Amino acid sequence: MISHIVTATIGAALALAATIGSAGAQQNFPTKPVQLMVAYPAGGSTDIGARIVAAIAEKSLGQPIVVVNKGGAGGQVGWTEFVRQRPDGYYIGFINLPATNTVILDPDRKAIFTEKDFTPIINQVLDPGVIWVRADSPYKTVHDLIDAAKKSPNTIRAATTGILSDDHLAILMTEEAAPGAVFRLVHLEGGAAQFKEIMAGNIDVAFDNVGSIMTRVKSGELRALAVMDDVRSKFLPDVATMKELGYPTVMSNSTRGIAGPKGMPEPIVSKLRDVLKKAMEDPEHVSKLENQGLAIKIMVGEEYARYFADTHAKAKKYTEWAKSRPQR
Amino acid sequence: MRRGRLVACVCLLGIFAAALVTSLDYSLMDALGPGPGFFPFWLSLLGATLTVAILVETARSHDIGTASILPSRQAAWQVGGVLIALAAAASLLEPLGFRLTMLLFIAGLLFALGARSPFAILLTALAGSFGVFHVFFYWLKVPLPIGALGL
Amino acid sequence: MDTFQHLLAGLTAATSLQNLGFALIGCFLGTLIGVLPGLGPAAGTAILIPLTFTLDPIGALIMLSAIYYGAMYGGTITSVLINVPGEAASVVTCFDGYQMAKQGRGGTALGIAAIGSFVGGIAATVALIVVAPPLARIALSFGPPEFFALMVVGLCLITGLGGQSLLTGLVMAVVGLLIAMVGIDPVRGAPRFTFGIPSLYDGVGFIPVVMGLFGIAEILLTVEAPYREVIKTKLTSLLPSREEWRRSFGAIARGTGIGFFLGLIPGVGAIIPTFVAYVFEKRLSKTPEQFGRGAIEGVAAPETANNAYANAAMIPLLTLGIPSSPTIAVLMGAFIINGLTPGPFLFKERPDLVWAVIASFMVGNVILLILNLPFVGLWARLLRLPYQYVCVGTLLFCVIGAYSLQQSVFDVGVMIVCGVIGYGLRKIDLPLAPLVLGLILGPFIEKSLRTSLEMSGGDFSIFYTRPICLGLLLAAVVVLLGSLLRPPPKVRESNA
């Protein structure tokens, strides 16, 4: 009987010690450098944004934040690696919606992770989708474009920045909202390729995001026809939204935020969130990102989780359509 | 050399055959043109044909150098040793961390290859593991693995 | 203000003490990045961008540009000394450069590489100044169909690379092309030949493969038969002999032209000009059997092309705002972060800035030459260490390089496997160069074919209704016929 009590006491003491110990570990977090993963090669837009945030945040975090690039397969390689890491706060990474969603949803990709494998921490950027053409293009408004697409279906060459990218889904949303309009999809790799092919006349219209083209619209090389958000972009205040133009269902954007593997303890998530939020609100961060035309939209907690779920549901619908459309 | 070539040709044929069969699983043609399986299929076929041609040519020729390509017993040990060391280092990089793994790798391999001065070996091993790590991780901010032991 | 005045103003700005300093730091860091394994120019430039936040825009841009073309030179050093390409574009230099090092002429190889790079860089910059905007417009007409045709021409060049026979060259090219098919395909976005391994989704990774095929294989061969005698060979002078000068002269001139024109075409990448220059030189040479065994033109041509390319590739960026390669895209990002959008409007609005950057290219090339030539002897001397140290050092180098690309042990594994394969291929004398070329061209060919068909809606006529595309395809046929009718020399080649 006494041995039972002793065992129980020792057991309880150990459990208490473990809890205090891990709480202590959480209290002291971080005690070594934190790795911030970007699922794209160095130099891309997400990567640069990551390096800017890391450089500022590590000052208040007290430990270096090292940006780790794990590019490949549109992000799939990075996220696959990511979900296998320990949720102890020392390995966090960027998730890009809806890219992360489409990778999960595309059956051909055979992703080993699902939307439940992430702990969203904080969103950094929300870059609305935009439809644009060359400055001297015959299409002066979105209506011109859509009329042309209805008149000669499958002739107007519309470029995306990648298969199942947010732009790809956006084209499908447009076709859905304007029945009869069918575009000829051309999948290019990235905004720079779009710019080149548009200037060369190989493409008629491009679907991309405000950040990629903002500076060029200002310089007059391009014309933005519409922004696919519910409010006008502060970088392109003269460009109407699809909602204003009568297509309220065409809402597409690309977001970048930081998440951890699932199962991260709340105190650590909280600490990271505060540090990163402070860094993102820092004027230097804001100005550097705004120079690139990237709109900062900080989302945390419930709001971010809900946004993730919404984006996922929407992406599901259009991904399925994309897979069954004759010309993908 | 001749035998080596023949063996290589057989291996190549095997690879091409495997590629051919696998590419049949991917569609060869679709609405727009060549599908994912198109190029691999025809390439494998082309490759196999060419390999057969080389096979025939090698089998019939007599003037290719007859010196054996196989290394001597001692040399084989050296080569094998390097490969084993490399494989071991690769698999231990993440569990043991860069510094420890490379320390062991450098010291071990130097010794196995015949270096004899303990001082030089130790110095090189330390520079190549801890020194290099410091430069890459702290100065250049290039992440190198840190293992379970914190090294 | 006319061009000359712009240039003068730019030179004045570029040679200010501060900007000279930035160019110097940039060249130094760039060379270091080029030498260091795995850390390619793109990653290196990206990592250093935060460093430039505190600098003024001109200084930041000068430094980052210097890092970019400095890295082109750094990669040469390891290619020559230990047969490990420091970065992708230096692969071709391994063919002859390393052979030269084995013959004790490593210093000469590095020297001619430095000189050729300098000439190529300056010539390209001058051409940039003189003809930039009109030429850049022409390059714009290179769309996906033209790209496809260009890649086909590139493939036909393989016939000029073949070793002992056309057959072996072709087979190795096919192997290279097949390896390039591994990964997510550009057609449907579905994995191909990946066997469920996520690390393969993006393909087999060019740098680990090449590091293995060349660097690791070389180590294995060395370990098998240590050639202590070569190390003891007296280092010959660092400058080429008169004979070598004569031969390099043409190579440098041609390399400059090839590198420059290919640099104007966005998307070509740095490796292709080096291959084209190499093969071109080999075809024109009276002693083609020397290539792959230490022919100095085999180093001069690709190195010149490489640097001419790097400088010329800035033209589409500065004049049209189109980045030619991922590394230049990073540079463009740096411009934008600093509030400047490269393109025709920047040229008009801030000519002082653009011309200062252009002028700094010239300055940078001079700095690179001064920086690197003296060290050539130092680098070459490293080879004289006892062979165990050179081997283990090289291996360490390669492991770090392969790992640091994507922080992946899988890449290290790929490298080791390719090392074994390369070892085997060298033993039975199957040529590596066609394999590498196939590996490079494979993705381009498939993607450009597919994108062209997307553009045309599935209509193949796009390939013969566009004049440039048609012209290139015909050129490919000519090249192919040319090499079939003139049989390549039947000589053993040791490294290519």
For C386-406, the DSSP string reads: -HHHHHHHHHHHHHHHHHHHH
Task: Please report whether residue B50 resides in a domain.
Answer: yes
Record: contact A70-C320, CB cut-off 8 A: no
- Chosen from A35, A36, A66 to mutate, greatest number of chain B CBs within 10 A: A66
- Whether B143 has its CB under 8 Å from any CB of chain A: the answer is yes
CA distance, residue B151 to nearest chain C CA (Å): 16
Name the closest residue on chain C to residue B95, using Cα atoms: C409
pLDDT at site C492: 44
* Helix (H) or strand (E) segment spanning residue B84: helix B73-96
Q: Which residue, B60, B85, B108, sits at the end of a domain?
A: B60
Pairing type for strands A34-38 and A65-69 reads: parallel
- Position C461 pLDDT exceeds 90: no
- Tens-digit pLDDT profile for residues B56-82: 888 887 665 556 667 677 778 888 889
Task: Please report whether residue B43 resides in a domain.
Answer: yes
Record: contact B143-A326, CB cut-off 8 A: no
Please count the other Cβ atoms lying within 10 Å of the Cβ belonging to residue A301. 13
Residue A38's beta-bridge partner residues? A69
Task: Please report whether residue B95 resides in a domain.
Answer: yes
For residues C421 and C159, the answer to whether their CB atoms sit within 8 Å is no
Task: Please report whether residue B8 resides in a domain.
Answer: yes
- Tens-digit pLDDT profile for residues A198-218: 888 889 999 999 888 888 888
Domain around B11: 2-60
Record: contact B54-C219, CB cut-off 8 A: no
Q: Where are the alpha helices (DSSP H) in C158-240?
A: 166-180, 206-210, 217-224, 228-231
CA distance, residue C177 to nearest chain B CA (Å): 8
Record: contact C174-B128, CB cut-off 8 A: no
* Radius of gyration in angstroms for the set of CA atoms belonging to chain A, rounded to a whole number: 23
Which of B38-52, C27-41, C220-234, C317-331 is predicted with the least confidence, judged by mean pLDDT?
A: C220-234
Record: contact C201-A215, CB cut-off 8 A: no
Chain B positions touching A64 (Cβ under 8 A) are: 141
How far apart are alpha carbons C331 and C310 in whole angstroms? 12
Option in A35, A67, A327 nearest B32 (CB): A327
**Residue carrying the six token digits 């790809």:** A168
Q: Where are the alpha helices (DSSP H) in C41-105?
A: 41-48, 57-82, 91-102
* Radius of gyration in angstroms for the set of CA atoms belonging to chain B, rounded to a whole number: 24
* Helix (H) or strand (E) segment spanning residue A258: strand A253-261
Residue A133's beta-bridge partner residues? A223
Pairing type for strands A91-97 and A65-69 reads: unpaired
Record: contact A327-B141, CB cut-off 8 A: no
Chain C positions touching B35 (Cβ under 8 A) are: 187-188
Which of A1-10, A167-176, B37-46, C377-386 is predicted with the least confidence, judged by mean pLDDT?
A: A1-10
Q: Are residues B31 and B81 in the same domain?
A: no
How far apart are alpha carbons C101 and A208 in whole angstroms? 50
Name the closest residue on chain C to residue B2, using Cα atoms: C428
- Whether B75 has its CB under 8 Å from any CB of chain C: the answer is yes
- Written in H, E and C, the secondary structure of C91-148 is HHHHHHHHHHHHCCCHHHHHHHHHHHHHHHHHHHHHHHHHHHHHHHHHHHCCCHHHHH
pLDDT at site C446: 85
- Whether B19 has its CB under 8 Å from any CB of chain C: the answer is yes
Per-residue b or e along A152-164, where b marks 16 or more CB atoms closer than 10 Å to that residue's CB: eeeebbbbbbbbb
Pairing type for strands A91-97 and A253-261 reads: antiparallel
Q: Are residues B88 and B130 in the same domain?
A: yes
Tokens of A200: 């060369």
- Whether B32 has its CB under 8 Å from any CB of chain A: the answer is yes
- Position C230 pLDDT exceeds 50: no
Q: Where in chain A is the domain with CATH 3.40.190.10?
A: 128-252
Chain A positions touching B137 (Cβ under 8 A) are: 66
The CATH T-level fold of domain A32-127+254-320 is: D-Maltodextrin-Binding Protein; domain 2 (3.40.190)
CA distance, residue B138 to nearest chain A CA (Å): 9
CA distance, residue A200 to nearest chain B CA (Å): 23
- Tens-digit pLDDT profile for residues C117-131: 889 988 988 887 777
For residues B78 and B36, the answer to whether their CB atoms sit within 8 Å is no
Sign for the pseudo-dihedral over CA of C474, C475, C478, C480: negative
- Position C203 pLDDT exceeds 90: no
Option in A72, A203, A292 nearest C337 (CB): A292
Task: Please report whether residue B148 resides in a domain.
Answer: no
Q: Are residues B13 and B38 in the same domain?
A: yes
Contacts of C130-134 with CB under 8 Å at 24 or more apart are: C130/C3, C132/C315, C132/C318, C132/C319, C133/C319, C133/C344
Tokens of C82: 């230990």
pLDDT at site C323: 80
For residues C22 and C63, the answer to whether their CB atoms sit within 8 Å is yes
Burial zone of A150 (CB within 10 Å; 0-12 exposed, 13-18 middle, 19+ buried): middle
Name the closest residue on chain A to residue C348, using Cα atoms: A219
What is the total count of domains within chain B?
2
- Position C227 pLDDT exceeds 60: no
Dihedral class, residue A131 (left if φ above 0, else alpha if ψ from -120 to 50, else beta): beta
Chain C positions touching B132 (Cβ under 8 A) are: 396, 400
Collapsing DSSP to helix, strand or coil, A268 comes out as helix
How far apart are alpha carbons C333 and B91 in whole angstroms? 37
Q: Are residues B15 and B55 in the same domain?
A: yes
- Position B119 pLDDT exceeds 80: yes
Q: Are residues B8 and B52 in the same domain?
A: yes
Record: contact A35-B31, CB cut-off 8 A: no
Pairing type for strands A118-134 and A157-160 reads: unpaired
Task: Please report whether residue B45 resides in a domain.
Answer: yes
Option in A43, A52, A221 nearest C330 (CB): A43
How far apart are alpha carbons C330 and B18 in whole angstroms? 40
Helices C106-140 and C91-102, axial angle in degrees (round to 10): 160
Task: Please report whether residue B151 resides in a domain.
Answer: no
How far apart are alpha carbons C66 and B57 in whole angstroms? 51
Q: Which residue, B37, B60, B83, sits at the end of a domain?
A: B60
Strand intervals (E) in chain B: 29-30, 33-34
pLDDT-derived band at C351 (thresholds 50, 70, 90) equals confident
Please count the other Cβ atoms lying within 10 Å of the Cβ belonging to residue C474. 13
- Tens-digit pLDDT profile for residues C146-190: 888 888 888 887 766 655 577 888 888 899 999 999 988 777 777
CA atoms within 13 A on the CB side of B133: 18
For residues A64 and A32, the answer to whether their CB atoms sit within 8 Å is no
Option in C266, C267, C457 nearest A154 (CB): C457
CB pairs under 8 A between A and C: 152
Chain C positions touching B106 (Cβ under 8 A) are: 392, 396
- Whether B123 has its CB under 8 Å from any CB of chain C: the answer is no
- Chosen from C39, C48, C49 to mutate, greatest number of chain A CBs within 10 A: C49
Chain B positions touching A326 (Cβ under 8 A) are: 31
Q: Are residues B46 and B94 in the same domain?
A: no
Q: Are residues B6 and B40 in the same domain?
A: yes
Name the closest residue on chain A to residue B32, using Cα atoms: A327
- Tens-digit pLDDT profile for residues A215-232: 888 888 899 999 999 889
Chain A positions touching B97 (Cβ under 8 A) are: none
Record: contact C391-B113, CB cut-off 8 A: yes
Q: What is the mean pLDDT of residues C291-320?
A: 87
Record: contact C201-A76, CB cut-off 8 A: yes
Option in B4, B33, B120 nearest C458 (CB): B33
How far is the first Cα of chain C from the last one, in angstroms, to the nearest whole number? 51
The CATH T-level fold of domain A128-252 is: D-Maltodextrin-Binding Protein; domain 2 (3.40.190)
Q: Which amino acid is at B70?
A: L
Record: contact B47-C171, CB cut-off 8 A: yes
Query: Cα C231–C232–C234 angle (5° rounding)?
Result: 105
Record: contact A64-B141, CB cut-off 8 A: yes
Record: contact B146-A32, CB cut-off 8 A: yes
pLDDT-derived band at C192 (thresholds 50, 70, 90) equals confident
Residues of chain A with pLDDT under 50: 21
Chains in contact with C, counting 3 or more C-beta pairs less than 8 Å apart as contact: A, B
Report how far Cα C254 is from the mean position of its chain's Cα atoms. 16
Chains in contact with A, counting 3 or more C-beta pairs less than 8 Å apart as contact: B, C
- Whether B49 has its CB under 8 Å from any CB of chain C: the answer is no
Please count the other Cβ atoms lying within 10 Å of the Cβ belonging to residue B111. 14
How far apart are alpha carbons A207 and A225 in whole angstroms? 10
Option in A32, A68, A326 nearest B143 (CB): A68
Q: Are residues B38 and B90 in the same domain?
A: no
Q: Are residues B32 and B90 in the same domain?
A: no
Record: contact B132-C423, CB cut-off 8 A: no
For residues B5 and B61, the answer to whether their CB atoms sit within 8 Å is no
- Tens-digit pLDDT profile for residues B78-117: 888 899 999 999 999 888 888 999 999 999 888 888 878 8
Say which residue, B138 or C436, is predicted with more confidence. C436
Chains in contact with B, counting 3 or more C-beta pairs less than 8 Å apart as contact: A, C
Q: Where are the alpha helices (DSSP H) in C383-466?
A: 387-406, 409-427, 433-456, 462-465
Q: Which amino acid is at C363?
A: V
- Chosen from A38, A108, A196, A214 to mutate, greatest number of chain C CBs within 10 A: A196
Q: Looking at this predicted complex, what is its ipTM?
A: 0.90
Q: Where in chain A is the domain with CATH 3.40.190.150?
A: 32-127+254-320
Name the closest residue on chain B to residue A90, using Cα atoms: B146
Name the closest residue on chain C to residue A193, using Cα atoms: C322
Q: Which amino acid is at B125?
A: A
- Chosen from B136, B139, B140, B141 to mutate, greatest number of chain A CBs within 10 A: B141
CA distance, residue A314 to nearest chain C CA (Å): 20
